[in-house]
Amino acid sequence: MSRSAIAVIERLPRVTDSGIVVDMRTARILAAAVAAVAVLLPATAAAAAPTLTRYRSLPGTAWWTEDGATVVAADATVDATALAGLRGALRNRGTLVRDSGTLRRHIAGADPFYQAGGFGRCLIGFNARAGSTYYFITSRHCVGAVAGTVYADAAATVPLGVVTTVTPTYDTALIRYTNTTIAKPSAVNIYPGLAPIRSFGSPTIGQRVTRSGPSGVRSGTVTAVNVTVNYADGTVLGLIRTNICSQPGDSGGPLFAGTVGIGITSGGSGSCASGGVSYYASAVRAGTTYGVGPY
């Protein structure tokens, strides 16, 4: 018998000077009931407590840690039931943020490289090299299989390079230039003019950064790092979140701070008409992984 049950029996009245007599059978029944309640309450509470685990891969959400607490951003596709579950799971343990629009990878629009086979058009992120071999880094979702050719024109008649390596987990890809006639400056097009890129660097929260692409040259700040993003077609790790808008057609493009390359555009939610957020793969991770860098 449990200690709590025994304690109940010990507190029950016995024969006293006033003539009160203990009914031991009743006492044992009461003690058993107390023990049952003591066992059931923790189990019931545990079953009722929401868990974040079930929502970790929920499409339309992005996850990161801020000051030791979990932050989850949910886009417009996350329904009321899932939102309620997230709020319950995060109670006293984190924060839920609502983002406008739909979280998606960005592809399409007037971009400077193309791929045959329906992969659309994207941006070169950063030119880089290893020794005397030249490459560029872009988003993995912008290209097809390794050894596939990318082109300088929409008609896919001017070869630009060959897909060398892809890293779906972090949404980056390395393209080796095969076209020797096209200039390959270690710089970012800022329409007009070029901004030189001399190194890759890791961002800090609050850092001022700039993104360049068909939706314009736009600046803002880094709001989170090491973010996990659940796109509708898969999860990407280690992304950088900013309050800069981005749109389809911006994928693969550069995020930079002065002469330092920071990230490669992966996706976002909202638009540049209504406002939104954007996510970037780490340029440092890509450069280190591929063994390449600016020049």
pLDDT tens per residue, range 82-124: 999 999 999 878 999 999 888 877 543 334 798 876 567 899 9
If we measure between CA atoms, which residue out of 42, 1, 64, 54 comes closest to residue 224?
64
Structural tokens at position 247: 């749109």
Query: d(Cα 5, Cα 26) in Å, to the nearest integer?
Result: 12
Marked catalytic residue, from 215, 251, 266, 278: 251
Residue 16 confidence (pLDDT): 44
pTM: 0.77
Marked catalytic residue, from 141, 186, 278, 282: 141
Confidence of residue 29 (pLDDT cuts 50, 70, 90): low
Provide mean pLDDT across the span 275-280: 95
Question: 251 or 45, which is more confident?
Answer: 251
Residue 227 confidence (pLDDT): 98
Marked catalytic residue, from 99, 111, 171, 250: 171
Confidence of residue 291 (pLDDT cuts 50, 70, 90): very high
Q: Which single residue is written with the structure tokens 């107390």?
A: 34
Residue 140's CB is within 10 A of a number of other CB atoms, namely 24
DSSP states of 6-43: HHHHHHS--S-TT-----HHHHHHHHHHHHHHHHHHHH
Residue 114 confidence (pLDDT): 87
- Label the pairing between strands 260-271 and 254-257: antiparallel
Q: Clarify whether 141 is annotated catalytic.
A: yes
Confidence of residue 222 (pLDDT cuts 50, 70, 90): very high
On whether the CB atoms of residues 162 and 134 are closer than 8 A, the answer is no
